[in-house]
Structure 1
Amino acid sequence: MPRDSDIPIAFTDAIKRDASGCLMVTSSSFRSSLAAVNHYWTLELCNKWIVRHQTGFKDVTDGDAEDRTYYLRNMGRVL
Structure 2
Amino acid sequence: MGRIYEIGYAFDRAVKIDQKGKKTVTTADFVRELAKVNWDWTRRQANDWIEMSVSTFKDISTEEGDNRTFMVYNPNGGR
Percent identity, aligned pairs only, is: 34
1:26–1:68 CA contact under 8 A, matched in 2: yes
SS class of match (1:67): coil
Distance 2:12 2:78 in 1: 8
Stretch moving more, 57-66 or 38-47 = 57-66
> Could you tell me which residue of structure 2 aligns to residue 2 of structure 1?
2
Deviation at 1:77? 3.2
TM-score computed with the length of structure 2 as normaliser: 0.90
Normalised by the length of structure 1, the TM-score is: 0.90
User: Gaps (5+ residues) in structure 1?
Assistant: none
Runs of 4+ in 1 over 4 A off after TM superposition: none
Which residue of structure 1 lines up, in the alignment, with residue 57 of structure 2? 57
Map Cα deviations across residues 39-66 of structure 1 (whole Å, 9 max, x no partner). Answer: 0100000000000000100100023221
Q: Deviations over 1:11-63 (max 9, x none)?
A: 00100113432001000000000000000100000000000000100100023
Partner Cα separation in structure 2 for residue 50 and residue 58 of structure 1 = 9
Deviation at 1:71, TM superposition (A): 0.3
